[in-house]
Amino acid sequence: MNRLILRYGTPVTIVILAVFSWVIYRKIADGGVGAIVLLASVAVGVWLVASFAFIFLWPRITVAGFKRAILRRGMGGGPIPVNTLYAAQESPSQSASGGSVLATGADDLIYLGGWLDVRREPRVLHVPEMPGRYYSVQFTDATSGADFAYVGTRATGTGAGAFFLCARGWAGTTPPGMTRIELPHGTALVIGRVFVSDEADRPTAFALAQRIRVAASGR
């Protein structure tokens, strides 16, 4: 859906405006001033409704697109099961020809991704020690499209850690030594990034990315 909008949005808009301009021209030529006012009122109403719908629905459409891509095609290694993170070793430019979800990323990063659903039971995000290396794990709400939490160099440091992932308002106790992260609506898109200094460093960065994983809360 997003690709269709980006590809055809401009020509479709031009066609709609051209048709609208032609209708107004014909009404003016026929002396239909009242019809023009009515048409303008309808156009403004449609614009307001469409703008509200776009602002409300676009984040959901975008996140849903990532969800479908992750669960159906994955990031180069096939479908990624729910509550599983997959790290892609190849760079975005290397994967672009295959239409991968990574195609718009940066080549100096190892990307990993997955779809979380903790509505039934919590999960735990495990991250390894990342001495002197930038990394981040981003959590995006499936309903609002907002990034609500980060784990990584800037947010939590480079030390190894475990993060308890649960739905908002979960009544259980957070295990000792874990940082609690609540998912506002119980599901989230997860995108991770691990810095790659050069191609010789890519295997090391990839090995670290593979150690960023989601496990059952008892593991």
69-86 average pLDDT score? 85
CA distance 219 to 209: 19
Cβ 192 vs Cβ 85: under 8 Å: yes
181-188 average pLDDT score? 94
Q: What is the pLDDT of residue 1?
A: 43
3-class DSSP state for residue 76? coil
Residue type, 98: G
- pLDDT (tens digit per residue) in 29-64: 666 556 656 666 666 666 666 666 666 666 677 777
- pLDDT (tens digit per residue) in 195-216: 999 999 999 999 999 999 999 8
87 CB contacts (<8 Å, ≥6 apart)? 110, 111, 112, 192, 194, 206, 209, 210, 212
- pLDDT (tens digit per residue) in 83-105: 999 998 887 666 545 555 555 56
CA distance 165 to 123: 5
The model's pTM:
0.71
Taken as a whole, the chain contains a residue count of 219
Averaged pLDDT score across all residues of the chain: 81
Q: How many CB atoms within 10 Å of residue 25?
A: 10
Residue scoring higher pLDDT (71 or 111): 111
